[in-house]
């Protein structure tokens, strides 16, 4: 009885050791996409009224956790029985990410009046602000779903051939890190100014160390958010381009002498603007028909 218990404990220790090693490898493989995920989600979680930032972020986090719960079992089943479906889903997701990135670039270059109005929360009624929140939350959760698919598939690729239990544990750990880690950092970023104000109010002494640090944090937040918006847009294009290059043979062998990052951005941009053109044309035709 005792020997059987010790054997079981030894098996568990071995399993956990294997899982630890494989999790490190998977984390390294997904580090790049996790960085892109952080940039995209920081941009998505910004632009809300101060006291609504954390509730909105919590809503996005819950949506992200639900995404993982949906994706994980489906990914394991598809990987085992219909591996080609994983590639198809990735490519479709890549088109959406490229489209979203191209749309952001287009709106920046050709700003529409309604986009300017939405960004100014003080000109909106409470009902309009809540509607805008719901739209941004929905958009963030959809983008998170696609990025989550990419993260989970990459992590799964590092443990192919391992026992199914190892696959489930390792990929689930990476999925949890992708949610808790990313949104935890995003929460710190969007509340940077609040923490800065608390440091400024910490004591009555003028120009103290806490005042200086607080002012740096308060002044830095708009710049961080703005830079995150730019980085997030680049990340959308880069991630989508990477999906096309790594999963479509034609793109993989296209421009072999070019640096991979340039090739991925170029392909992501081209497909993104083609998708944007198709969507815009379809919407115009639909509106014409409706009238």
Span 79-103, pLDDT tens digits: 778 878 878 887 888 898 899 889 9
Is 140 part of a structural domain of the chain?
no
Asked whether residue 91 is assigned to any structural domain, the reply reads: yes
Which residues fall within 8 angstroms of residue 110, CB to CB, at 6 or more apart?
none
How many helices (H) and strands (E) in the chain? 10, 0
- Residue 98 is assigned to a structural domain of this protein: yes
Residue 54 pLDDT more than 60?
yes
Q: Is 109 exposed, middle or buried (0-12, 13-18, 19+ CB in 10 A)?
A: exposed
Residue pLDDT, tens place only, 140-175: 888 888 888 878 877 777 776 677 788 888 888 888
- Asked if residue 274 belongs to a domain, the reply is yes
In a domain, 202, yes or no: no
Check residue 274 and give its pLDDT.
Answer: 96
**Residues 6 or more apart whose Cβ sits within 8 Å of residue 268:** 94, 97, 98, 101, 236, 237, 238, 239, 240, 241, 242, 244
> In Å, how far are 17, 76, 150 from 164, measured between CA atoms?
16, 9, 20
Whole-number average pLDDT of the chain: 78
Query: Which whole number is the average pLDDT over 134-141?
Result: 86
CA distance 54 to 191: 8
Least confident of 22-36, 63-77, 161-175, 235-249: 22-36
**Parent domain of 54:** 24-134+163-183+228-242+257-290
Quote the percentage of the chain above a pLDDT of 70: 76
Number of separate domains in the chain = 1
pLDDT at 273 over 90: yes
108 in a structural domain: yes
Residue 5 pLDDT > 60, yes or no?
A: no
Residue 180 above 60 pLDDT? Answer: yes
Question: What pLDDT score was predicted for residue 39?
Answer: 67
- Burial label, 267 (beta-carbon count in 10 A; 0-12, 13-18, 19+): buried
Q: How much is the average pLDDT of 207-229?
A: 81
Q: Tell me whether residue 32 is in a domain.
A: yes
Look at residue 12 in the predicted model and tell me its pLDDT. Answer: 43
Residues 184, 65: Cα–Cα separation, whole Å? 13
pLDDT at position 4: 46
Closest CA to 167 of 4, 23, 9: 23
Kindly state whether residue 252 falls inside one of the protein's structural domains. no
Distance CA 125, CA 134 (A): 14
Higher-scoring residue by pLDDT: 224, 270:
270
Asked whether the predicted pLDDT for residue 14 surpasses 70, the reply is: no
> What is the C-alpha separation between 146 and 92, in angstroms, rounded?
9
Task: Say what the pLDDT of residue 24 is.
Answer: 59
Q: Is the pLDDT confidence value at 2 over 60? A: no
Using a pLDDT cut of 90, give the percent of the chain over it: 14
Residue 20: HSE in the Cβ half-sphere, 13 Å Cα cutoff: 6
The single residue listed with the structure tokens 């719960």 is 69
Q: Rg of the chain over CA atoms, in angstroms?
A: 22
**Long-range pairs for 132-138 at CB < 8 Å and ≥24 separation?**
133/48, 133/52, 133/56, 136/44, 136/47, 136/48, 136/56, 137/56, 137/59, 137/60, 137/63
The reported pLDDT for the residue numbered 153 is 79
Q: Say whether pLDDT at 135 is over 80.
A: yes
The span from the CA of 287 to the CA of 171, in Å, is 44
Lowest pLDDT segment from 117-126, 132-141, 208-217: 117-126
């Amino acid at each position: 009885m005792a020997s059987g218990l010790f054997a079981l404990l030894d098996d568990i220790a071995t399993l956990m050791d294997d899982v630890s090693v494989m999790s490190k490898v998977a984390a390294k493989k997904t580090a790049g996409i996790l960085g892109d995920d952080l940039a995209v989600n920081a941009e998505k979680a910004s632009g809300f009224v101060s006291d609504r930032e954390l509730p909105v972020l919590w809503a996005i986090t819950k949506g992200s956790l639900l995404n993982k719960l949906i994706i994980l079992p489906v990914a394991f089943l598809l990987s085992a029985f219909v591996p080609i479906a994983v590639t198809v889903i990735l490519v479709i997701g890549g088109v959406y990410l490229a489209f979203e990135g191209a749309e952001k670039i287009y709106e920046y270059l050709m700003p529409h009046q309604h986009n300017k109005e939405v960004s100014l929360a003080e000109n909106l009624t409470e009902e309009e602000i809540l509607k805008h929140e719901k739209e941004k939350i929905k958009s963030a959760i959809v983008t998170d779903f696609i990025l989550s698919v990419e993260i989970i598939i990459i992590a799964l690729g590092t443990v192919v051939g391992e026992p199914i239990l190892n696959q489930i544990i390792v990929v689930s750990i990476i999925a949890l890190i992708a949610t808790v880690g990313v949104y935890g950092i995003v929460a710190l970023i969007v509340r940077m100014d609040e923490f800065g104000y608390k440091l400024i109010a910490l004591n009555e002494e003028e120009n103290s160390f806490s005042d200086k640090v607080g002012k740096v944090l308060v002044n830095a937040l708009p710049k961080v958010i703005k830079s995150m918006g730019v980085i997030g847009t680049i990340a959308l294009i880069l991630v989508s381009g990477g999906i096309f290059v790594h999963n479509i043979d034609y793109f993989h062998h296209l421009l072999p002498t070019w640096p991979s990052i340039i090739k991925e951005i170029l392909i992501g941009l081209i497909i993104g603007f083609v998708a944007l053109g198709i969507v815009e044309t379809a919407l115009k035709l639909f509106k014409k028909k409706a009238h």
